[in-house]
Amino acid sequence: MSSSKVILVTGSNSGIGYELVRLLAAKGHTVYLAARKETAGTDAVAKIKKEKNLDVKFVQLDVTETASIEAAAAKIQKDEGRLDVLVNNAGISELSTPQSAAKPNIASIRAAFEPNFYGMIQTTAAFLPLLRASSTPDAPSVILEVSTDMASNTFMATPEGFLHQAVAYNTSKAAANSYIIALARELKDEGIKVNSVTPGFTTTKLNAFAPGGKTPEQGAQTLLEWCLLDKDGKTGQFAYDGGVWPW
């Protein structure tokens, strides 16, 4: 199909990322499912083929390893010649470790920042030349950060804010949002769309399958429209399925 896009979803062998890959492939796009471990990634690709009869591609990608990022970018450059959409989904929560603000677990905070902040930035930078080469006024490239309600300092400062003790996760995702704001402004004149979206509380491995949340597919549905923005699509937004979420 002429409107088919080349899309990369990091950390997508399970959870919301996996479901997003499936939803995008069902729409006819060329989708790269990325995982740190090759076996986990190829198993996920095979599962989508078996259960949904959809073809997706696998690329090994560890967002904390420069060589892995560069190899993934080189593969997509060679195989596709372009990248239209980058979904920064890879991340960890560190929710299983104590995360007090008054008694910070520095090792846990560093661990969360590696993929959630530094890894996301270096992955975005590595793929930006491919995104720039693909982007046109009528079909802009897209960069999407999969965020969290708790990345909103505005929300967390209200009585409704929750899990304040999740210092490693919350601060790493809030920092990622700060980068997204800066990147969106820098790329606005080029027409590239850059946004953060929170899928909301979703029951996945990230939160040890905490009950009561959305299903991974429901979480992925929240992200779907933000992956496929056209020339009139918004940029520099922090969104959720009810509209605009506060930064």
Assess whether pLDDT exceeds 70 at residue 183: yes
1 or 78, which is more confident? 78
Is the pLDDT score of 176 beyond 80?
yes
Does domain 6-244 bear CATH number 3.30.450.20?
Answer: no
pLDDT tens column, 46-75: 999 999 999 999 999 999 999 999 999 999
Q: With CA atoms as reference, report the closest residue to 167 among 76, 239, 101.
A: 101
Contacts by residues 45-53 (CB-CB < 8 Å, ≥ 24 positions apart): 48/18, 48/21, 48/22, 52/22, 52/25, 52/26
Identify the band that residue 165 occupies on the pLDDT scale cut at 50, 70 and 90: confident
Distances (CA, A) of 202 to 33, 84, 153, 211, 230: 20, 27, 20, 9, 27
Q: How confident is the model at residue 241, as a pLDDT?
A: 94
pTM: 0.95
Stretch 105-125: mean pLDDT:
97
Domain boundaries defined on the chain: 6-244
Give the model confidence (pLDDT) of 188-236 as tens digits.
Answer: 999 999 999 999 877 677 776 777 778 989 999 999 999 999 999 999 9
| CB contact burial 90-110 (16+ within 10 A = b; e otherwise) | bbbbbbeeebeeeeebeebbe
Rounded CA gap, 210 and 203, in Å? Answer: 5
pLDDT at 184 over 80: yes
* Total count of residues recorded for the chain: 247
In angstroms and rounded to an integer, the radius of gyration of the C-alpha atoms of the chain is 17
pLDDT of 195 reads 98
Average pLDDT, the chain: 94
- The string of DSSP letters for 2-40 reads TT--EEEETT-SSHHHHHHHHHHHHTT-EEEEEESSHHH
Q: Please determine, for residue 1, whether its predicted confidence score (pLDDT) is greater than 50.
A: no
**pLDDT (tens digit per residue) in 119-138:** 999 999 999 999 999 999 99
Residue with tokens 């996760």: 169
Round to whole Å and give the CA distance between 16 and 21: 9
User: Whose CA is closest to 54, among 76, 72, 75, 31?
Assistant: 31
